[in-house]
Amino acid sequence: MSTLIVIDQSPYGTWAGREALDMAFSLAAFDQSVSLLFTGAGVNWLRKAQTASEIEQKSVEKNISAAPIFGVKAIYADAKACVQYGLGLDNMLAGVAMAENSTELLHEHTHTAFAG
């Protein structure tokens, strides 16, 4: 079993992305193969230097950076969405792989779960 958790909403506006991330960490904690795909507005999760304290939220950067430590296999960003939102390797968090073809990525996993 391998699971791809897809986050397609920007951070902070809803809780869905955080809860999807918790699902990924939980699978990893149970030694299940899991990767993350950020697509659409969701790629904004991967932006460097987020100042979420201004809206009394915790930055999601730490959570993303901790993902490999917790056993999340890979973090993918949809390449087209990155272009759309002005994201490149210079202003993105380290350790993110660009996914040129998200369809292929979906086919490579037996399970897919979207943030609500």
Catalog residues that contact another protein under the rule CB under 8 A.
Answer: 1, 3, 15-16, 19, 22-23, 26-27, 29-30, 32, 111, 113-114, 116
The nearest distance, CB 18 to another protein, in angstroms, is 9
13 or 86: CB nearest another protein: 13
Closest CA to 101 of 81, 86, 72: 81
51 or 62: CB nearest another protein: 62
**Which pair of structure tokens corresponds to residue 26?**
């939980």
63 or 92: CB nearest another protein: 63
The nearest distance, CB 5 to another protein, in angstroms, is 11
Measure the CA–CA gap between 32 and 69, rounded to whole angstroms. 14
Buried b (16+ CB within 10 A) or exposed e, 49-65: ebeeeeeeeeebbebbe
